[in-house]
Amino acid sequence: MIPALVDHLPALQVVTPLLCAPLCVLVRPGRAAHAIASFGAIASLAIAARLLAEVLDHGVLSYALGGWAAPWGIEYRIDGLGAFTLVIVTTVAAVVFPLSRASVEAEVEPARRHLFYAALMLSLAGMAGIAVTGDLFNLFVFLEIASLAAYVLVAFGRGGPAKLAALRYLVAGTVGATFVLIGIGLLYAATGSLNMADVSARLPQVQQSTALKSAFAFLVIGIAIKMALFPLHAWLPNAYARAPSVVGAFLAGSSTKVAVYALIRVVFGVFGADYAFARLSVDWVLLPCAAAGVIAGGVVALFQSDVKRMFAWSSVAQVAYMVLGAALASAAGLSAALVHMMNHALMKAAIFLALGGIVYRTGAVSIDALAGIGRRMPLTLAGLVVASLGLVGVPFTAGFVSKWTLLRAALQGDAWLLATVIVAGSLLTLLYTGRIVEAACLRSPPPGSVSTGTAEAPPGVLAALWLLAGASVFLGLDTSLTVGVAERVAGALLESAAGRWR
Amino acid sequence: MSLSGSYHYLAVVLLMVTGLYVVMVNTNLIKKVLGLNIFQTSVFVFYISLGRLEGGTAPILADELSRYANPLPHVLILTAIVVGVATTALALSLVVQIHRAHGTMEEDDIDDREGGATIS
Amino acid sequence: MIAAAAVVLVVSMAMVLVRALRGPTLYDRILAANHMGSSAVLLIAVYGFFDGRPEFLDIALAYALINFIATIAVLKYFAYGDLGAAGVREERNDA
Amino acid sequence: MSTWHLINAGLLGFMVAVAIAVAALRNLFAAVMLFAIYSLSAATLFVALDAVDVAFTEAAVGAGISSILMLATLAATDGREKQHRHRRALPLVLCLALAVVLFAGLHDLAPVGDPAAPAHVHVAPRYLSETATEVGVPNVVTAVLASYRGYDTLGEAVVIFTAGLGVTALLGGHFRRRRSGKNGDV
């Protein structure tokens, strides 16, 4: 990379996908837009990887936009947590966007494909912005960019139900964003600043203030709506199930992770663990919600007949796992949450891609439509099963690593009940994965369907699927990439927060 | 706190609760969008009240003046208003499409027609 | 004197608001909204003098324009839209 | 000064009354007209709170564009809300909880206009004192918007672009179809 550009990487991380979006609209034909979107995603991954390396080597990067110093101008501030989140989001984008063209062509009208790719780029830009910004109001702006793009993407799904799902997502998301805005306003009123580091440094002076507690409540609830934390999850299942498969793969892989990032950033970065947990005991709210989410998400998923909706419900449970880890407020719990963010992003993206491949061939993803699919699409199904086993937490998959670290973190805190919930959640996942395997391999295809020979998912989708599933197995064997980095990130986060309130 | 200092905030709370109540209770989609707008506007009132400075005037510099309102909340709310109208526009176009597809704007009716398939 | 003008305007706005809230026909509400806009224009103009910065009169002018355009838009949809007549009939049933 | 309070309290009272009326009315057309009044009152209030730029934007965007968009939507759909079965208890409890949390927070803040409030002493004074030399625009709001916090404004433009893209994707073919086949559609 050109040396002069390296200094501007934080800005480029956002600007690259942002510039690709209008280009996608301008070039019009779907194929050219697809090429631009692929370039944008891959370039973003390269930038994110470079940023992570820089941050791990040299510590926090600060970038003053427009040259205005921190509390007055907007600061981009990238630490380990931000860079790690960026890598998660851009990895999903860089695998899904380039390789899933066939799936998009099957599910989105030709006249709107360029708009579809532009919306994908905007969503990516919004998420990148959330992860790099060090300014609270700027966080709100990027949250809204990412969210609006996500509503548009869901609305690309077929027919009225997708539009209704998008509108319900929009209403819930806007209420969440407005809550975040109220929280930011209260924080600003209490401290006079919008810069996260500055706010954080000034908080001890006003720590008795009720306004601060109120601000904390609004921010946490607002972000919890955005990440679909149980019981604020109502918008998610339909939104992900009715969106085009590629959107499901991208959003399930990245959007909720970014919201979890925002929660960790606000709770640990801005308010600090001491304030949030020792003073406000927020774990007494978050842990029950998360535990209930793990169980409820799993149970409801078990009874779904639409496989996409089944895995959308499974996302509700998996997000709850991440919150559970973070709410343990220990280095072990936090790093477990981060590892699970990475692993779940890869596995869920793989699963939705596999479902996209099945939709491409059969036009439907109900359990009944899957009957006998094991013989017709063995590779697609195998990929789906490998990724699902990762979700269960079977040894030698990435999911095992994250569930295991989570379990260990819970046991370290003597939280036996939570440990039971974690294991029970895994069993539920095993059960609904079992339903799919049973239908696909043991049932015979419905009479009347043409089932001669094999008809796999399109090659690109298959490649992306196996790339993600393979990565999930690889990360299950070599944990230094995820656990190693996550432990350093979590340690730094707790260290920077500790001692500020004494 | 004296009443003269807090009635702005009291009004903000009332507006916000009214807006959110409309969003949660009404099943008519246009009404929901209206409620969302009321909800958002109440936050704008909150921010602008924060920016008010006793004895100050609008933050447009003039030689003979020295006390101005805080410009920062104004800037933030300018952005938030635009974000709000963008959301409204998107929401309303979704409503038009839902009406085209289902022939109604009542969530209840749509759910009934789908045979209770929507577990949300 | 200026303060008195401001007070009178607020009171008149309150009276218009009653009409807007009670209806009973849609025309009452449209007229009330329009009147509310005109009162707001006057209030802003008066407030400029009250505050000692009358140069903000241009805001009042912009409001007047917006008010005019919005009323045209309302009436256009009322006259040519698909629902105007039905709205009036149902309103009368309410009252 | 009491005139100022009267104007403020009056406008806030109008807003509360209109908001409650919007919640109660079932005629959507009337609700939209009242919403326009609501936005207009908010915009007038912003002038009284010395936020002239925001007042301008709220009047044009809130009272103007939003209302017209809603009217256009009404013209393309139904005009009246149906009587429906409500689930009122839980929303009411949630709303009351919200009111308590919010009021507790707001009550704790410095009174409106207090010069010692943190918001007035920390970051903002620098904008007021340095804008003349650093940016050279008399309107400080413009200076902060375009310069100090210019990236928020860029983000704002991106939000509009995103919404425009969404509306195009959703309604792109819709009005063309409507115009050609108007009779069959209504």
pLDDT, tens digit (0-9, with 9 covering 90-100), for B48-63 = 999 888 888 888 888 7
Provide residues of B within 8 Å CB-CB of chain A: 16, 20, 23, 29, 32-33, 36, 39-40, 43, 46-47, 50, 72-73, 76, 79-80, 83, 86-87, 90-91, 94-95, 97-98, 100-102, 107, 110, 114, 118-120
Q: What percent of chain D has pLDDT over 90?
A: 19
CB contact under 8 Å between C52 and B58, yes or no, is no
Q: Which residue has the higher pLDDT, A364 or A243?
A: A243
> Could you tell me the CA-to-CA distances from D67 to C74, C86, D27, D64 in Å, in that order?
9, 20, 15, 6
Looking at residue B27, its pLDDT comes to: 85
What is the average per-residue pLDDT within A147-154?
95
* Residue A30 predicted with pLDDT over 80: no
Task: Report whether pLDDT(A358) > 80.
Answer: yes
Output the DSSP codes for D35-51: HHHHHHHHHHHHHHTT-
A60-85 pLDDT tens trace: 888 888 778 778 888 888 888 999 99
Which of A269 and B116 is assigned the larger pLDDT? Answer: A269
Has residue A396 got a pLDDT over 60? yes
Distance from C-alpha of A228 to C-alpha of A251, rounded to nearest angstrom: 12
Using CB atoms, pick whichever of B27, B33, B72 lies closest to residue D123: B72
Among A148, A178, A235, beta carbon nearest to B40 = A178
Q: Where do the domains of chain B lie?
A: 3-113
- Check residue A178 and give its pLDDT: 95
Q: What is the pLDDT of residue A356?
A: 87
Q: Locate A382 and state its tokens.
A: 């195998």
Confidence of residue A452 (pLDDT cuts 50, 70, 90): low
Window 32-51 of C, Cβ < 8 Å to D: 32-33, 36-37, 40, 43-44, 47, 50-51
Nearest CA distance, D30 vs chain B (angstrom): 11
- The pLDDT of residue A224 is above 80: yes
- Please indicate whether chains A and C are in contact, defined as at least 3 beta carbon pairs under 8 Å: no
pLDDT of residue B12: 93
User: What is the count of residue pairs from B and D with beta carbons less than 8 Å apart?
Assistant: 280
d(C-alpha A380, C-alpha A373), whole Å: 9
Distance from CA of B119 to the nearest CA of C (A): 33
In angstroms, the Cα distances linking B105 to C60, D78, D81, D149, D182 are 37, 8, 8, 40, 20
Shortest CA distance from D29: residue in chain C = C87
D33 → closest Cβ in C29, C44, C59: C29
On the question of pLDDT at A218 being above 90, the answer is yes
Residue D179's pLDDT is 46
pLDDT digits (tens, 9 = 90+) for D60-74: 888 888 988 898 888
**How much is the pLDDT for A275?**
84
- Shortest Cα distance, chain C CAs vs residue D101, angstroms: 30
- Rounded-to-integer distance, Cα B69 and Cα D58, Å: 18
Side chain identity at residue C6, one-letter code: A
**Selected residue of C47, C49, C53, C59 to mutate for chain B interface (largest B Cβ count, 10 A):** C53
The tokens describing B63, both together, are 């030689």
Which residues on B lie below 8 Å from D139 (Cβ)? 59-61
Residues of chain A found within 8 Å of residue B97, distances taken between Cβ atoms: 155, 160, 163
Cβ pair B18:D16 closer than 8 A: yes
Number of structural domains chain C divides into? 1
Report ipTM (2 d.p.): 0.91
Chosen from B92, B97, B110 to mutate, greatest number of chain D CBs within 10 A: B92
Give the pLDDT score at A152. 95
Domain count for chain D, please give it. Answer: 1
Residue A460 pLDDT greater than 90, yes or no:
no
> Least CA distance to C56: which residue of chain B?
B58
The yes-or-no verdict on residue D84 having pLDDT over 60 is yes
- pLDDT computed for residue A501 by the predictor: 46
- The set of chains that have 3 or more CB pairs under 8 A with A is B, D
Which residues of chain B have a CB within 8 Å of the CB of C53?
Answer: 57-58, 62
D31 within some domain: yes
- Between D64 and A115, the more confident residue is A115
pLDDT-derived band at A265, boundaries 50, 70, 90: very high
Domain of C27, in residue numbers: 2-94
The reply to whether D143 falls in a domain is: no
Residue A371: its pLDDT value, please? 79
Question: Who contacts A192 (Cβ-Cβ below 8 Å, separation ≥6)?
Answer: A202, D117, D118, D119, D120, D121, D122, D123, D124
**A64 beta partners:** A75
The 10s digit of each residue's pLDDT in A151-208 is: 999 999 888 889 999 999 999 999 999 999 999 999 999 998 999 988 888 888 888 8
Average pLDDT, 10 consecutive residues per value, chain C (95 residues):
87 91 84 89 86 78 82 76 43 40
D5 contacts B4? CB cut-off 8 A: yes
pLDDT at res. B93: 92
Confidence of residue A86 (pLDDT cuts 50, 70, 90): very high
- B85 touches C: beta carbon within 8 Å: no
The pLDDT value given to residue D85:
61
User: Which of A321-330, A451-460, D104-113, D166-175 is predicted most confidently?
Assistant: A321-330
Q: Is D18 within 8 Å of C17 when comparing Cβ atoms?
A: yes
pLDDT score, position A377: 84
Look at residue A24 and tell me whether its pLDDT is greater than 60.
Answer: yes
Q: Across-strand partners of B53?
A: D113
| A407 CB-near residues (< 8 Å, 6+ apart) | A419, A422, A423
Judged by a CB distance cut-off of 8 A, whether residue C69 touches chain D is: yes
Residue with tokens 């003098």: C49
**Is the Cβ pair A160, B102 closer than 8 Å?**
yes
Q: Establish if D5 belongs to a structural domain.
A: yes
Nearest to A175 among B23, B76, B107 (CB): B23
- Return the residue of B nearest to C52 by Cα: B57
CA distance D62 to chain A (A): 16
Q: Could you list the residue range(s) of the whole structural domain that residue D8 is in?
A: 1-80
Give the integer Cα–Cα distance in Å for A386 and A388: 5
pLDDT of residue A448: 57
pLDDT at residue A451 greater than cutoff 70: no
- Chain D closest CA to B4's CA: distance in Å? 8
Residue B58 near chain C (CB below 8 Å): yes
Hey, what CATH topology would domain B3-113 get? Answer: Helix Hairpins (1.10.287)
Report in angstroms the alpha-carbon separations of A34 from A16, A359, D37.
Answer: 15, 20, 46
Amino acid present at B46? F
